[in-house]
Structure 1
Amino acid sequence: MIEPKAPHLSNIEIWQKWKEEGDIEAKKRLIEQYLTLVDYVSNRMAIGLPKNVSKDDLASNGVMGLIDAIEKFDYRRGLQFETYASWRIRGAIIDGLRQGDWVPRSVREKAKKIEEAYQHLEQQYLRSVTDAEISHYLEVSEKEFVHMLQEIAVTTVCSLEDPIREEESETRLSLLVDEKAKNPDYKVHEFYLKESLVRGIERLTAKERTVVSLFYYDELSLSEIAEVMCLSPSRISQLHSKAILRLRGALDKQKDQLMEH
C-alpha cells in the first residue's frame, strides 16, 4: 500500500489518472488511502463532545469531507493534501454537528455573552482581562463563571474551524498557513485578520497560549495537554474555552468588516 505522504510526488500518477482522465478506480484508491485521516480527525474532534454525539456520525460526515477534498484538490499546486483534506473533513463534521443542533440554545447564548464580554473589556482596557473582571461584567460570581465555562466547553472545540464567511471554507485557523498568492483585496483582508489574530494571541495568558499551541499546532488531545502541564483535564478545558472566546472576540470586529465587503 502506498504511504499517504507527499501525494503530489509519490502519488502523482494516481492523481493524474483521477484528475486528468476521470478514472473512478483512481478516485476510489485515493479515498481508501486517506480514510485514516477521517479516523484521526473525527476521533480528535470527538474529545469533549456530548456522549449523545455518535462517533459513527462524525466519521460519516468526515468521509463526505474527504470525498469533497479529493474532488476539489489541485495536485499541480504542490500543496500537501493531508492538510487540505483535514480542513475539509473538519468542515464537513462541523456542518453535520450544526445541522444536528447538538448544543442547546441556552449554552450558545452563554458562550456568546462571554465572547462579547471579552471583546468589550479587552478593547476597553487593551490588555488581557481577569476572571474577576469578566465575572463582574457578567454580574455573576467567579464560581458561576467557571461553571459557565464548563457548560460551554463543547462549543469551543471547533471554534477556530468556523468559516470567516458562511458561504466559504476559509477558516480562521487556515489564515496561519502560507499559501499561493491571492488577489490584492483578499490579501488586504487576510493581513488584517492575521493582525487581529496575533493581537488576540498576545492577550492570552501564558497558560492559555500553551494550551492553544499544544492543541492546534502540536495536535495533542486535551487529556494529553493535561499531563504535559500537570493540570486536571477540566482545568485544561477551561483554559481552552477562555482562549478561544478571547480569540473569537478579537476576530469578530474584523470579521464584520470583511462581511461588509
Structure 2
Amino acid sequence: MGARDPAEDLRLWRAWRATGDPAAREALVARCVPLVHWVVDRLGYLARGRAERDELISAGLVGLLRALEGYDEARGVPLAGFVVAHVRGAIRDAFRELDWLGRARRRQVRRAAEALAALEAELGRPAADAEVAARLGLSLEAYHALLEDAARMPWRTVVLARDGGDTTDDGAPDDVDDTRTAALPAREAGPLDRLLADEQARALGRAIASLAPEDQQLLHLHYVEERPFREIARALGLSPSALRRRHAAILLRLRGRLVRSA
C-alpha cells in the first residue's frame, strides 16, 4: 500500500468534519482514492476485462465514501485501515450480487482439486495440465478455462472451504481477511476455536512446504509481498493468463493435499 502519514489522513478528515467544506471533502477523497486502486489491484484477478474491473472500482468508491462518513476516530482505528476495510467489504458485496461463477462451477473446481491430488499421488510427481484434463474427461482448453475460473475465486474458497459449504462459499473475494469487520472488536476466541485455527494453520503450512520451490515463490510474492499478478507475471516472464492458471493450479494442489491428509 506504500507509506502513508496517518496524521495527515486524520488532519484532512477533521478539517472536513469540522467545517463540512466541500473542498476539504474533495481533498480527503482524492487522498484516499489510491487505497481503492490498491484493493482492486489485490482483487483485480476477479474481473474479466476492463468493464468488470471498473465495476470493482465503482463498488470500492462507494465503500470509500461510506467509510469517510462513518469513521469515528474515538475508536482508535487508523483512517486508512478503516477505509480499506470498507472498500474490500463493498467489493465483496458487489461480487456476491453478480455471482460471476456460480456454485456449480465452484464445485467443479473443488472436484478438479481432488482429481489432481489423486493423480499426483499415483504418478509420484506433479501432473501436467494435459494429464489432469484427461483424468477429468475434459479437453485441455476446457481445463484451462476451469483454471481461469478458479483463479478468480478467493483462495480460501478454493483451498479451505468444505465441499458445498454454503456458509463460506459465497464466491466473494475473501482472499484477505473479511475486512468489513476487521476494524470492529472481534468475538473472543475460545479454546476450541484456537485449537482448530492452529491445526488448520499447521496443516496449511505443511501443504505449502510440500510444494515445489517455484510454486512457493509465487505464493510468497502475491500473499506475503502483496504484489499484483500483473507485476509478478512481468517478473517471471509469463503472460497474465498463464500466471493466473499457474496460481490456480497451485491452489488446487494445496486443497487436494489438505483433503488427502485430513
* 1:223/1:181 CA distance change after superposition, 3 Å: closer
% of aligned pairs identical?
A: 23
- 1: CA distance, partners of 2:139 / 2:45: 24
Match of 1:139 among 131, 135, 140: 135
Q: Structure 1 unaligned runs (5+)?
A: none
Q: Tell me the residue number matched to 1:63.
A: 61
- 1: CA distance, partners of 2:65 / 2:125: 43
- 1: CA distance, partners of 2:196 / 2:26: 37
Match of 1:183 among 181, 184, 188: 188
Equivalent residues of 1:160, 1:172 under 8 A apart? yes
Q: Deviations over 1:70-123 (max 9, x none)?
A: 5676757766654564354234223312311222666434312113335x649x
Match of 2:199 among 192, 212, 219: 192
Matched, 1:238 2:245: yes
Give the residue type in structure 2 aligned to 1:240: H
Q: Tell me the residue number matched to 1:35.
A: 33
- 1: CA distance, partners of 2:87 / 2:113: 26
Shift of 1:145: 5.2
Q: Which secondary structure does the structure 2 equivalent of 1:238 belong to?
A: helix
Give the residue type in structure 1 aligned to 2:188: N
Matched, 1:210 2:217: yes
Equivalent residues of 1:117, 1:134 under 8 A apart? no
Q: Deviations over 1:20-73 (max 9, x none)?
A: x89866887654431221123225533463238433321121123334555676
Give the residue type in structure 2 aligned to 1:148: Y
* Between 96-105 and 62-71, the greater mean CA deviation after superposition: 62-71
Q: Tell me the residue number matched to 2:144.
A: 149
Q: TM-score, normalised by structure 1?
A: 0.64
* 1:111/1:79 CA distance change after superposition, 3 Å: same
- 2: CA distance, partners of 1:214 / 1:137: 28
Q: Tell me the residue number matched to 2:164.
A: none
RMSD value, Cα: 4.9
Equivalent residues of 2:91, 2:173 under 8 A apart? no
Aligned residues: 243
Give the residue type in structure 1 aligned to 2:233: A
- 1: CA distance, partners of 2:203 / 2:82: 23
* Between 227-236 and 26-35, the greater mean CA deviation after superposition: 26-35
* Between 222-231 and 23-32, the greater mean CA deviation after superposition: 23-32
Matched, 1:98 2:93: no
Q: Which secondary structure does the structure 1 equivalent of 2:235 belong to?
A: helix
* 1:191/1:227 CA distance change after superposition, 3 Å: same
Q: Tell me the residue number matched to 1:5.
A: 4
Q: TM-score, normalised by structure 2?
A: 0.64
- 2: CA distance, partners of 1:73 / 1:187: 31
